[in-house]
Amino acid sequence: MVLVGALAIGGGIWAIKRGTADPPISFRTARLDRGPVEQAVTATGSVSAVVTVQVGSQVSGVIAKLGADFNSRVTEGQIIAQIDPTRFRAALQQADATLKAASASVAGLEVAARQAKLERDRADALVKRQVLGVADLDLARSKYDQAVANQAEAVAKVAQARASLGAARVDLERTTIRAPISGTVLQRSVDVGQTVAASLQAPVLFTIAQDLARMEVHAAIDEADVGKVHEGQDATFSVDAYPGETFHASIFQIRSQPNVQQNVVTYDAVVRFDNPDSKLRPGMTATVRVVSLRKEDVLRVPNAALRFRPGTDLIAAPTGPPSGAGAENRQLTATAPAPVAASGGTPAGRPPAMATAEGGGRSTGKGGAGGRTRGRIFRPAGDKVAPVNFKPGISDDEFTEVVGGELRAGDEVVLDLGGGAARAGGAAAPPAAGGRRGPRMF
């Protein structure tokens, strides 16, 4: 009985150890191939019409009638709103009466001026014949001068009254709001019976887009990428309203005025496109992509391999002294990588984007090499991995170009870990979108 009990206990302990043992380490791999790699600049912006006009009112009053509504098609000169003109008609009539009164005053003063001139001339003749004294002549001359001045003042008042009449006529005409351009009404801000007050700023009644068949996107280009784009360059963009659909456009203008927000400098790129069926609407958020450089048939490595960072105990020991073309690789093999964080394979104290390239620099999968002078990936070596250094070129969302190093087409590289990754203490980041997984497991 004792022997049977001991065997049972021993068998249970062996089963528990076997069940808790780490599974064998396996690697997900991919083979390097040749193909295209694109260096692209991405930016976001909003869709808008090429010409958008806000229609306001230059006079105050009550809206008596509306001639357009949301999404209405209007033509240039069409009446789209009418402000109650009663007060402005009265002002016009008053100005007209003032002008007539001023004109009549001018006529009366002309008669007085002529009479004063006759009296002055008569006094001058009598003085020459010594019938009238010099004082009487001076008085006659003063009366004439005063009559001429009164006549000039009356003429000025006529001009003033005529100007007031013109202003009253213009104000009356401004009670009729007309469309300044042909287009589509995007917004109507007033209703019938509403009072608009035009004081320091004209109230906006309508917003009209000139032509929704020709639109544009104002994309914010980062200052690090603005040198990679130029006017006339082809571009593509997508909007959330139509997922999976790509729209084609071209860069119309790159504006020199910088936009600074929280110490981030961007420049506006105006991207224009045709919208014949009015599928895209103003205000939609667009993600613009501009291919600044494309290389065909280049050796490329999946970006997932660049993000893979194994634990120290998974790196194979160097074989032989460093010499020849592979000296740098073997020297780096003997150098332990940075400490691994407890949560996975990213070296402690360094963000994942910085951990992908030795020698510093960004590795975002977009843009160029990002300042990197050296990249590092790992090959499978039995149940361990061996580091390989290479010189990266341009990158896109899936691949990075290989421009130097010992890598060749068909070489197998590690994307991430499986099996005993938890025991190894180093887990890889998820494979990049589109990254391939190797057909076999080690």
**Which residue has tokens 């019409």?**
49
pLDDT for 327? 42
∠ CA 138-143-148, nearest 5°, is: 125
pLDDT for 22? 56
pLDDT for 396? 87
Q: What is the dihedral of CA 31, 32, 33, 34, to 10 degrees?
A: 170
In this prediction, residues 78-96 reach a mean pLDDT of: 95
User: Is pLDDT of 437 > 70?
Assistant: no
pLDDT for 3? 55
pLDDT: is 60 or 333 the higher one? Answer: 60
What would the pLDDT profile of 3-36 be if each residue is shown by its tens digit?
A: 555 556 665 565 555 555 556 678 889 999 999 9
pLDDT for 24? 66
The CB density around residue 5, as the number of other CB atoms within 10 Å, is 9
Q: What is the DSSP letter of 24?
A: P
Q: In the predicted model, what is the mean pLDDT of the chain? A: 80
**One-character DSSP codes across 205-252:** EEEEES-TTEEEEEEEEETTTGGG--TT-EEEEEETTSTT--EEEEEE
Q: Distance between CA 149 and CA 146 in Å, rounded?
A: 5
Q: In this structure, which amino acid lies at residue 356?
A: T
pLDDT for 109? 87
pLDDT for 332? 39
Q: Distance between CA 340 and CA 389 in Å, rounded?
A: 20
The structure's pTM equals 0.62
pLDDT: is 11 or 262 the higher one? Answer: 262
What would the pLDDT profile of 101-129 be if each residue is shown by its tens digit?
A: 999 888 888 888 888 888 888 888 887 88
- pLDDT band with cut points at 50, 70 and 90 for residue 383: confident
pLDDT for 242? 95
pLDDT for 369? 40
Q: Which DSSP helix (H) or strand (E) runs through 160?
A: helix 134-174
User: Is pLDDT of 146 > 70?
Assistant: yes
3-state SS assignment for residue 44: strand
pLDDT for 349? 35
